[in-house]
Chains A and B, each alone.
Chain A
Amino acid sequence: MALLQIAEPGETQAPHQHRLAAGIDLGTTNSLVAVVRSGEARTLGDNHAQHLLPSVVAYTDSGIIVGDEALQQQIVDPHNTIASIKRLMGRGSEDLRLLGDELPYRFAASDSVVPRIHTRRGNVTPVEVSAEILRVLQQRAEETLGGALSGVVVTVPAYFDDAQRQATKDAAGLAGLNVFRLLNEPTAAAIAYGLDKSADGIHAIYDLGGGTFDISILHLNKGVFEVMATGGDTALGGDDFDHLIAQWIITQAGISKPDAALQRQLLQTARAAKERLTQQQSTDISLDNIGWQGELDREGFNQLVDPLIRKTIIACRRALRDAGLTTDEIEDVVMVGGSTRVPRVRELVGEFFGREPLVDIDPDRVVAIGAAVQADILAGNKPDEEILLLDVTPLSLGIETMGGLVETIIPRNTTIPVARAQEFTTFKDGQSAMAVHVVQGERDLVADCRSLARFELRGIPPMVAGAARIRVTFQVDADGLLGVEAEELTQHVKASIEVKPSYGLSDNEITEMLRASMEHAEDDVKFRQLREQQVEAERVIEALTAALAKDGDQLLNDEERRLIEAALQQLRQNARGDDAAAIEDSIKLLEQSCDFYVERRMNSSIHDAMAGHNIHEFETPEK
């Protein structure tokens, strides 16, 4: 008979109606899947009770292998074995050069913006590689739960941008998974500890994995986690601890130049020693094949790794400074990632924040567990759970207006999902199209923000400048993905775009963008003032030139025309300069010298109108 689980009071579901849901931690080094059963969130193991699935995919002649077996392939067939694919998610071919890593893969030449890795089984994209990992986890969950998953929550780093999030979602879709939502990894860890149910406060999530370090400062505000600051190092983790121990052995044993095989053995030995030192005060290390034996005690180990841990502490300090906080404002410190098992890490982190870090939940599994809790709620298995956890936009979203200025539509830290609309108008008479340039960032100038997408609204009916009404709507869904729509309100012509930008931000860029916006606040304001005046000048010049061409000869005598042309010339010249005040003055001057002309034009229009013409044909541009 079927195997039953215990439900919350009154929530037994009808047979065959269970909504099975899982949380997936799609990691750089390892991935995990977790589910909530009988009120308990647990990660799931494979047939050998292995919970961690190495995020490695091997493309072999006989098929696609994922996990431990693929890891074995890495040594013999590095070109066809793909590891750490997460680093390439949502990155464009352009970004690969910036990543700088000596990636061992052969990239297929293509004009596509998405990089393709050449393997024995054809060219694959990062999305496809990730989908293979997700498929294995999905299968594991479905076998364990005894049914198909109705949906999953997949975690992503807090600093992942729209492109990286979309790529992650695409990978899940490719694997046939329904994504309830993406969840920030630090938020998932906080949920696993139930911090979302605690009072409002600020929490630090310290995540030291195998190859990466992330620190996130989260602010819980009315049940919503806001990311206040992130920081870290994409090339610092437990693997570096292993390298240091291996180096120590090399020195101690007097090994001159280890070959690849010995190097691997040294790393394995180092790793084992590191793990033993978590429990023991000292450990014997022996390399039988070269006849060496030694002893490493915790004190010695600490001395080796201290500089690395100090680096993480510096990143923590920086993140706090970015968030404008001191350590005593931090409520809880959550430890995530296998390397936080190292006692010295806990000690130094505890010392820095001045409190005992939370370590009760297995740091390898805590993110997946939080995701599972969230998935269970989203699947509708906990109807009385009133808090639907929300996220916020990490950076402001807006569009480019005249003069290369940014008009923010959705400010940063707005809780999502959200939709905001704003009306814009045309700049020139008879303008029939409008370019919508979607940007992300905190700066006032488009050039300093990140370009997300561009599209054009065409078919605007001919109208004088400023008469058209174009509503631009920004919509961010629960996964932080952006849709932008522009609609002309009289004829209802529409154009829209889903933002899937071709390249991403590097890890610390969000933090840097925020910092830059603070540092350049004053410059930005000045620039904005200048650009606004320049745009205004351009508009005035445009309108006046059009008017002069139309009726200047009839309404002005040579002397008057010369005066106006001179003022116009003065404005043109000042508009090219960088003195906002001077431009403003010349605009005023020009307007003054044109007063009588404007008046004559008005009279002339009225006169003409009385002569049986339609007034609209003579509508005077506003000054």
Chain B
Amino acid sequence: MAITLTTAAAERVNSFLANRGKGLGVRLGVKTSGCSGMAYVMEFVDEANDDDVVYEDHGVKVIIDKKSLIYLEGTELDFGKEGLNEGFKFNNPNAKNECGCGESFTI
């Protein structure tokens, strides 16, 4: 199992990284908080940590800490539009419930 990106997501991450002018890749993770257990984390990465796992898909480095990986194993990162809004989506096979808005989840 690994973490994968759709083509659309990879393109956007690359363009955001290029725009930012620096960064190894993107960090995916989870943190405890929110209305339904865990919340997703998505950040630029300037420096990876020792306990990070690095995946590469469509030319994008996805950096993830080992603990988060338990929750995210097999996740596909997608980029989509809803009306005028656009952004990234976690297609996470581990998530069982999401809060109404989908910002946090439980497994």
Contacts and interface: CB of A to CB of B under 8 A. Distances in A.
B33 A4 contact: no
Given A2-B103, A15-B103, A145-B85, A8 B43 contact: yes
B90 A12 contact: no
B44 A7 contact: yes
Contacts of A2: 87, 101-103
Contact of A3 (B41, B45, B80): B80
Contacts of A430: none
A179 B27 CA distance: 33
A82 to B, nearest CB: 26
A12 B43 contact: yes
B75 to A, nearest CB: 12
B101 A16 contact: yes
A9 B17 CA distance: 13
A418 B20 CA distance: 34
Size bracket of the B interface: 35 or more
B84 A140 contact: yes
B34 A15 contact: yes
A347 interface: no
A4 B87 contact: yes
B43 A4 contact: no
Interface stretch (A39-47, A293-301, A307-315): A39-47
Interface string B33-45: 1110001111111
Contact of A146 (B19, B34, B85): B85
Nearest to A16: B103
Query: How many residues of A sit at the interface, in one of the four size bands?
Result: 20 to 34
B46 interface: yes
Interface string A1-42: 111111111111011100000000000000000000111100
Interface of B is mostly: strand
A594 to B, nearest CB: 78
A12 B101 CA distance: 17
Interface in B37-83: 39-46, 80, 82-83
A1 B85 contact: no
Contacts of B35: 15-16
Given A14-B33, A16-B34, A5 B87 contact: yes
A146 B43 CA distance: 19
A1 B39 contact: no
B16 A39 contact: yes
Contact of A1 (B20, B33, B86, B89): B89
A614 B58 CA distance: 96
Contacts of B31: 12
A155 to B, nearest CB: 22
A9 B46 CA distance: 7
A417 B87 CA distance: 37
A2 B35 CA distance: 13
Interface in A531-548: none
B85 to A, nearest CB: 5
Contacts of B10: none
Contact of A6 (B13, B46, B82): B13
Interface in A219-262: none
A327 interface: no
Given A6-B44, A39-B44, A143-B85, A15 B39 contact: yes
Contact of A9 (B45, B89, B98): B45
Contacts of A1: 89-90, 98, 101-103
Nearest to B105: A1
Contacts of A4: 40, 42, 87-90, 103
A144 interface: yes
Contacts of A16: 34-35, 101, 103
A4 B20 CA distance: 17
B104 interface: yes
B26 interface: yes
B84 A3 contact: no
A126 B64 CA distance: 53
Closest 9 CB pairs of A and B: A3-B87, A1-B102, A15-B103, A15-B34, A2-B102, A144-B84, A12-B41, A4-B88, A143-B84
Interface of A: 1-12, 14-16, 37-40, 44-47, 140, 143-146
18 contacts: A1-B90, A1-B103, A2-B101, A3-B87, A6-B16, A6-B44, A7-B43, A9-B27, A12-B31, A12-B41, A12-B43, A15-B35, A15-B99, A15-B103, A16-B101, A38-B12, A47-B84, A145-B85
